[in-house]
Amino acid sequence: MSRRYARREATLGLMLFLSLAGGCVSGEAATGMAADGPLGLGLVSPSRDEFGLSGGIEDAENRFRSAVQIEIGSGLCSGVLIARRLVLTAAHCFCWPSGPSVRSMDKTACKKNVVVESVLYRSREGVEPWVDRTGGTVVVHEGFRSELDVAGGRLFVKSKVADLAVIYLEKELANTSWDNKLREAEVLLNDEVTVVGYGAVADEPALKGIRRFGSNVVAELRLSNDRKGREIRFRFPGAHTHRGDSGGPCFLEEKGTRYLVGINGGYVSQGATESWFTSTSSYRDWIAKQIEEAKKRETS
């Protein structure tokens, strides 16, 4: 049962480029060249979910109430609540090059204030979801940087490091939960995971703002360009991400516990057949620090 309600089209040029050009995937992977610092590569069998994430399963039963929607001007990203008033998402949603001739990004030119929405779907047909909204302040990971390049007349992501940001919310959002359990161990090749986002439907790009989820399996783990953090890749078939899903969570269910294992860094523009996520295992200390800071702000 689908509750389709349209959101505004994303018109931020750089956000469109980032969403289409590759999120946290390296330029070598985006152009089909050899990857830098691979941790391993494994062929995978088809996932049990044959639908794309954004065209697949609507979260009508509110299984993923921790996943939120982020409005950045007229653009859209996704995120996940990791504390009562704290959202974890992707840095590239908010940042841009500091000048027209600059081919790099870091935390120096990033949007600071955004709007975050929570969504609770209703059980009756035709009843609109219950949406709550609040403002928030963005803090980008201090190590975030991304190198850009031009190929075929378009910009693409050549490299990316620490593609993470948090949003400190002005108030607690209604009808939510939060997911902040992180694994010390990295995911493994062929682990089945669930990805969640509010992005566009693959065959209906104007239709967005609906929380959807789908499954896929880990196809590759790779060291990021600083050789500290890691990136997780998913392959076709299975769930994949589209414009507006950037910053959304990736979960691993293990022995009845849901772990947050990745944050969506965008998708590779190869027929939407690959998706890349920043692994949260490498950034456990930074995430824990942000959670503690959020608790202090609540009591101040």
CA 200, CA 212: separation in Å to the nearest integer?
A: 10
pLDDT over 70 at 254, yes or no: yes
Domain ranges within the chain, ordered by starting residue: 13-299
Nearest in space to 244 (alpha carbons), one of 2, 5, 12: 12
Write down the pLDDT at residue 134.
98
Q: What is the pLDDT of residue 51?
A: 42
Provide the pLDDT for residue 11: 29
**Percent of the chain at pLDDT above 70?**
74
Torsion of CA 291, 240, 32, 104, to 10 degrees: -40
For residue 40, name the pLDDT band (cuts at 50, 70, 90): very low
CA distance 149 to 219: 26
- 252 beta partners: 259
Q: Which fold has domain 13-299?
A: Thrombin, subunit H (2.40.10)
Higher-pLDDT residue of 66, 268: 66
Q: How confident is the model over 77-124, as pLDDT tens digits?
A: 999 999 999 999 999 999 988 777 788 889 988 999 999 999 999 987
If you average pLDDT over every residue of the chain, what do you get? 77
- Which residues neighbour 99 within 8 Å (Cβ) at sequence distance 6 or greater? none
Cα–Cα distance, 300 to 162 (Å, whole number): 29
pLDDT score for 202: 59
Would you give the end-to-end CA distance of the chain in angstroms? Answer: 43
Residue 56: predicted pLDDT: 59
| pLDDT digit string, tens, across residues 201-234 | 655 656 678 899 988 889 888 887 677 788 888 7
